[in-house]
Amino acid sequence: MIGALTGRLAFKSPSQITLDVQGVGYEVFIPLSTFYSLPDVDQSASLRVHTHLREDAIQLFGFLTITEKDAFVLLTGISGIGPKLALSVLSTLSVTDLVSAIQAGDMEKLATVPGIGKKSAGRMVLELKDKVERLHAMPSATVHVTSDPSSRLHEDALSALVNLGYRAQEAKDIIKRITQSQSSPIPLKDLIRETLKELARG
C-alpha cells in the first residue's frame, strides 16, 4: 500500500499528475486544492497518497496535506461517494468550508458540488457530523500563475471545471467573460473560484 510519494513532477494538470520516483512514473489523481500549490514541472514534490484498490485497477490519489487525505478517506466511506466524487468535493470546497457545511447541516452548500444531490448531501451531514472534528484544516497556500499565457490559463481552468462535471461550452463562456472583465491578470485559483460561483447560480 503506497502512503506517500516524493519525486520529480514530470507532468501536471488540474486533475492528475505524473510523479517520477527514481525513474518510475506514478500517475496520481489530485483535487484542485493540491493542484494550486504544486511546484513547477521538473521540481520536487511530495504527496500524501491514498491507494484505491479495484478489481481491475490500482488508483493513486494524492494530497499535499494530511488533512485533505483524511477528508478524502472520510468522504469515500459514505455510501454512494467514490474516489472521483470525493475529489470533486475537495476541488469545490476547501476542507474548512466542508467541515463548516457539515457541522451546520448546510445541504445547499454541499449540493453545489457537481454530482452531489440533496440525498448525498444529507448522507454527508448525517454520517460525518461527529467525525469531521478530527479534521484540523490548514489554510491552503495561494499560488499565483499570472505569468502563464492567457490561453494556458483558460485551458487549465476549463480542464478543471470539465473534470468536475460542468459542460465545457458553458464553463468556457463564463471563463471568457470573467477574464475579459479583469483589468489585470487573474490567478488560476481565483478564476476557477469565480467561475464556480457563476455556474452555481445557474
Considering the domain boundaries, does residue 142 fall inside one? no
Considering the domain boundaries, does residue 144 fall inside one? no
Number of domains into which the chain is organized:
3
21-43 average pLDDT score: 93
Considering the domain boundaries, does residue 25 fall inside one? yes
- The whole-angstrom distance between residue 15's C-alpha and the CA centroid of its chain comes to 7
Question: Rounded distance, CA 91 to CA 163, Å?
Answer: 10
Residues 171-201: tens digit of each pLDDT? 888 888 888 888 777 888 888 888 888 887 7
Question: Are 118 and 163 contained in the same domain?
Answer: no
Question: Are 57 and 115 contained in the same domain?
Answer: no
Question: Rounded distance, CA 201 to CA 142, Å?
Answer: 25
Q: What pLDDT shows up at residue 42?
A: 94
The strand pairing partners of 46, in sequence order, are: 6
- The CATH number assigned to the domain holding 18 equals 2.40.50.140
pTM summary value: 0.71
Q: What pLDDT shows up at residue 70?
A: 92
- The whole-angstrom distance between residue 162's C-alpha and the CA centroid of its chain comes to 12
- The CATH number assigned to the domain holding 183 equals 1.10.8
Q: What pLDDT shows up at residue 37?
A: 87
Q: Which residue has the higher pLDDT, 122 or 55?
A: 122
